Amino acid sequence: MSVAESHLHDHHDDHEHDHHDLPWIKKYVFSEDHKVIAKQYLISGIIWAIIGGGLSLLFRLQLAYPDANFDWLKPLLGGWIQNGKLDPEFYLALVTMHGTIMVFFVLTAGLSGTFSNFLIPLQIGARDMASGFLNMLSYWFFFVSGVIMLCSLFIETGPAGGGWTVYPPLSALPQAISGSGLGMTLWLISMALFIVSTLLGGLNYITTVINLRTNGMSFLRMPLTIWAFFITAIIGLLSFPVLFSAALLLIFDRTFGTSFFLSDIYIAGQALSFEGGSPVLFQHLFWFLGHPEVYIVLLPALGITSEIVATNSRKPIFGYKAMIGSMLAIAFLSFIVWAHHMFISGMNPFLGSIFMFLTLIIAVPSAVKAFNYITTLWRGNIIFTPAMLFSIGLVSFFISGGLTGIVLGNSAADIQLHDTYFVVAHFHIVMGSASFFGMLAGVYHWFPKMFGRMMDEKLGYVHFWITFIGVYMVFFPMHYIGIAGFPRRYYSFTGFDFTQSFTDLTQIITIAAIVTFAAQFIFLFNFFFSIFKGRRATENPWRSNTLEWTTPVEPGHGNWPGAIPTVYRWAYDYSKPGAEDDFIPQNVPFSETKGSNFPHENEQMVAEAESIHGK
């Protein structure tokens, strides 16, 4: 192992490595260590997931039992319950907050924030992020943004209520709905801070991946997780500034009386002075972020899945380069399909058919990824760890939700389906559940590296099966309800005759949602219990190839106590014919694996040897 262990990297020159003498507050609160920041993101994400999920149960109750008496919720909701009924405007606020929290705080910050921070330095062989300070700043911007959003839940006029997409004019005019008053202002402030946080994070991820890879870690040896985080960060860097612009113009419309998005509006018989604005313009700006955002949420989960599926199938990932290519293609295409959210906004139908064409092309790289997961699993020596189960669950959701995407992508079909529960079903399966499963898979898989202990597997299995079945129970029936014409974001359906026959179905959905939500507490128990009392982990419990498993059980500041390992091969040498073990970590040189080398690898070995003994 002399070469693998040879010291190739000096410590970062500009970095303090002995963290022992740091004050408590710099070690655990305002830490600049990427692992601590990752855990901060993870815990924040978990808290937000509980809040966001809880909100959804409230409005699911209303949908399933519109005639029930909700007075028992008064201790929690206070004045939002009047005469035993949920306030209709508060219903909208609940939907809005649920969407915003889940999309941005849980699945963007919680997912990318946790795993990009934790894994990028560990898997590319770096001591930390390019800038620990910016990284810390990124977390605290997110924290403040969250505090503001949380406050908005408790103000008298209620939080923002115009949907997570905050379309004007509804979101621009306080007269229109009470949530568009102070609640919307806080929403905008919070999101502006959130965007700054995401950009600071993304800047750091990209810089780190490009500049701080260890020796030998060429781009084509990077694990697919890193590729996914890297591409995600690039998408974020290009799309979040656009949301920032949209939010800025909306702020001007709200406070300075400009009319970017407003025109010819009458409220209660009164004409407003706004003239010449275009609400569709906002939709263009929003979805230019909004569509890439769905991939910002999904790609990290897909990256995590690639890693876990390969490790636990004990097989090289099928089509490594195709995976990279399809991620790049998805990233590129995601910027030119946004108008599929606007087919019925009055857009020119010819333009619509162009966007339809571009949208349907995305199905190709998506299918490539799905096939590659399946072919990796095919005939593997599959080890069903909880992480593996959640990854396979993700693949299932990615396929079933992607299929309905193709239906929606047809502009003619979308006339019927737009803004119905069909869309809700589509994106909760393909984005919500898939990314959520990716996040859970990641937690189960990297928990040993994060906390030095193992999570309980049995509880993990129970958690998986209830959640997996629960998700399908909740979201699958929504397709039918959607096709039947149920609009989304409606407070009550009982006003229409045709909806009566679906009451049972909505009740089943709600009950399934409650059970699924409750099952997450199994996970929470497992998570927090295992942090303190879990079985002690070994350095490499999953017998995995990537560099993070070459660190000590609980890596300290700087990650490797000695030198950073050098990388000699890709991350997927599992079950290589002729090898002693069924895995060969990335830091094992070819000269030590003569029995299993391919011819071109033998050539590389000669080059290695020359470079060492040549001189």
Partner 1 sequence: MSQHELNLQSSEPQKPLSMNPKKFAFWLFLVTVLMIFAALTSAYIVRRADGGWLEFQLPSIFWLNSVIIVVSSITMQLAYFAAKKDSLEKTKLYLLITSLLGLAFLVGQFYAWGDLVEIKVFFGGKGSNPSGSFLYVLTGLHGLHLISAVIFLWVVFAQSFKYKVHSKSMLVIECCTTYWHFLGGLWIYLFGFLLLNH
Contacting positions for Cu ion (CB under 5 A)? 291
How far apart are alpha carbons 3 and 589 in whole angstroms? 7
Chain-centre distance for alpha carbon 360: 23
CB 30 within 8 Å of CB 136: yes
| Per-residue binding letters, 551-570, with partner 1 (x by CB under 8 A) | ---------------x----
Residue 566 interacts with, from ligand HEM, partner 1, Cu ion, none (CB under 5-8 Å by kind): partner 1
Residue closer to Cu ion, measured from CB, 254 or 291: 291
The Cα 497–Cα 407 span in angstroms is 27
Least Cβ distance, residue 417 to partner 1 (angstroms): 26
CB 110 → ligand HEM: shortest distance, Å? 15
Pick from Cu ion, ligand HEM, partner 1, none: which does 430 bind, CB < 5 to 8 A by kind? ligand HEM
Q: Calculate the alpha carbon distances from 97 to 263, 285, 551, 607 in Å.
A: 27, 21, 40, 58
Distance CA 426, CA 441 (A): 21
CA distance 505 to 477: 7
Work out whether the CA dihedral 494, 499, 500, 506 comes out positive or negative: negative
Binder of residue 298, out of partner 1, Cu ion, ligand HEM, none (CB less than 5 to 8 A by kind): ligand HEM
CB of 279 to ligand HEM, least distance (A): 15
Distance of CA 537 to the CA centre of its chain: 27
Contact 522, 462 (CB under 8 A): yes
What token pair was written down for 404? Answer: 């309905």
Distance between CA atoms of residues 545 and 237, nearest Å:
30
Compute the least distance from the CB of residue 363 to ligand HEM, in Å. Answer: 4
> Which residue's structure tokens are 């295992």?
530
**Contact assessment for residue 103 and residue 289, using Cβ atoms and an 8 Å cutoff:** no
612 touches partner 1 by CB under 8 A: yes
Nearest CB to Cu ion, comparing residues 213 and 341:
341
Minimum distance from residue 478 beta carbon to ligand HEM (Å)? 13
Among partner 1, ligand HEM, Cu ion, none, the one that 363 touches (CB under a kind-dependent 5 to 8 A) is: ligand HEM
The interface partner of residue 210, options being Cu ion, partner 1, ligand HEM, none and the CB cut-off 5 to 8 Å by kind, is partner 1
Which residues, 6 or more positions from 18, have their beta carbon under 8 angstroms from its beta carbon? Answer: 557
Q: Which of the ranges 5-13, 413-421, 475-483, 497-505 carries the binding residues for partner 1, by CB under 8 A?
A: 5-13
Evaluate the CA torsion angle 581, 585, 588, 594 in order and state its sign.
Answer: positive
10 Å CB burial of residue 178 (0-12, 13-18, 19+) is: buried
DSSP category for residue 542:
T
Shortest reach from residue 114's CB to Cu ion, in Å: 24
Decide whether 117 or 312 has the Cβ nearer to partner 1.
117
Structure tokens of 4? 């693998």
Question: Taking the complex as a whole, how short is the minimal distance between the CB of residue 409 and partner 1, in angstroms?
Answer: 22
Site for partner 1 contains 7 (CB under 8 A): yes
Of the pair 165, 263, the CB lying nearest ligand HEM is at 165
Angle, helices 457-483/503-533, rounded to nearest 10 degrees: 160
Query: Between residues 343 and 568, which has the closer beta carbon with respect to Cu ion?
Result: 343
Residues 202-221 that bind partner 1 (CB under 8 A): 202-204, 206-208, 210-218
135 binds partner 1 (CB under 8 A): no
Give least dist CB 291 to Cu ion, A: 4
The phi-psi region of residue 457 (left if phi > 0; otherwise alpha if psi is between -120 and 50; otherwise beta) is: alpha
437 binds, among ligand HEM, Cu ion, partner 1, none (CB under 5 to 8 A by kind): none
What's the one-letter identity of residue 606?
V
Cα separation, 392 vs 386, whole angstroms: 10
Of 340 and 576, which has the nearer Cβ to ligand HEM? 340
SS3 track for 317-337: CCCHHHHHHHHHHHHHHCCCC
Phi, psi of 271 (to 5 degrees): -80, 135
Q: Which is nearer to partner 1, 129 or 323 (CB)?
A: 129
Both tokens assigned to 272 = 């407003």
252 binds, among Cu ion, partner 1, ligand HEM, none (CB under 5 to 8 A by kind): partner 1
230 or 574, CB closer to partner 1? Answer: 230
Binding site for ligand HEM (CB under 6 A): 165, 294, 297-298, 340-341, 359, 362-363, 366, 402, 405-406, 408-409, 414, 417-418, 423, 426-427, 430-431
Sequence-ordered alpha helix ranges (H) in 534-598: none
H/E stretch holding 458: helix 457-483
- 369-398: contacts with partner 1 (CB under 8 A): none
Site for partner 1, residues 233 to 272, rule: CB under 8 A: 237-242, 244-246, 248-249, 252, 256-260, 263
Residues that bind partner 1 (CB under 8 A): 3, 6-8, 130-131, 134, 199, 202-204, 206-208, 210-218, 237-242, 244-246, 248-249, 252, 256-260, 263, 273, 275-278, 281, 284-285, 288, 566, 607, 610-612, 614-615
